[in-house]
Amino acid sequence: MDYLIKKSSSTAESLGATVSEVKLPTQSGGDKVFVGDKRPLDLGDYVLAKATEITEPLDAATQKRGETAVVVVGDTVTVTYTAVDLTQGEINERDRRIPFDAFEGRFTAQEWDDATDYSLNAAPEMRRKIKQGLQRATARNSVDLLDPKTDAFLTILVNGGVITGTRKTAILTP
């Protein structure tokens, strides 16, 4: 990728690709400089240079792309695409939505059976709420662990004696 370096300030502007022509900031109208293949190329107050690009390895499970660092030394440009750790908040936000099967897997087999039995034998209002919660999750094929509706659904199971408050917290933790 070509960069246009302003000598007086050692600042660099990305040209987005390797270019065959460039319009210098000091030129007016349709004036352009045809630059050929030579890099670095001295253009008076500017230098056209090909950047050395460094991409830091990225562990997608725990990192994201950080700031892109551009360092200019003389007529050399180094562009580094950094990797930075995700914050706990970013991890929680990413992990808050899970597939329905993964949500079901957070329950023991006995808890899931007890929840099914409870949904069949609970008072009509509770049956309706349980059925609506399960239908919403299965229709979306995902569960938002931090959604108040998911919390309310599990509170029904706690109040019905299906799971404990401690299990509810464990199930809802991203």
From 20, 58, 56, select the one nearest 41 (Cα to Cα). 20
- Residue 84 — pLDDT band, cuts 50, 70, 90? very high
Whats the size of the chain, residue-wise?
Answer: 174
92 residue type, one letter: N
Note the pTM of the prediction, 2 decimals: 0.58
Q: How confident is the model at residue 83 (pLDDT cuts 50, 70, 90)?
A: very high
Phi, psi of 101 (to 5 degrees): -60, -40
Model confidence over 111-169: pLDDT tens digits?
999 999 998 888 888 888 888 888 888 888 999 999 999 999 999 999 999 999 999 99
Sequence spans of domains, the chain: 2-85, 96-172
Closest CA to 62 of 40, 84, 79, 32: 84
Please indicate whether residue 171 or residue 6 has the higher confidence score (pLDDT): 171
Average pLDDT in the 62-81 region? 91
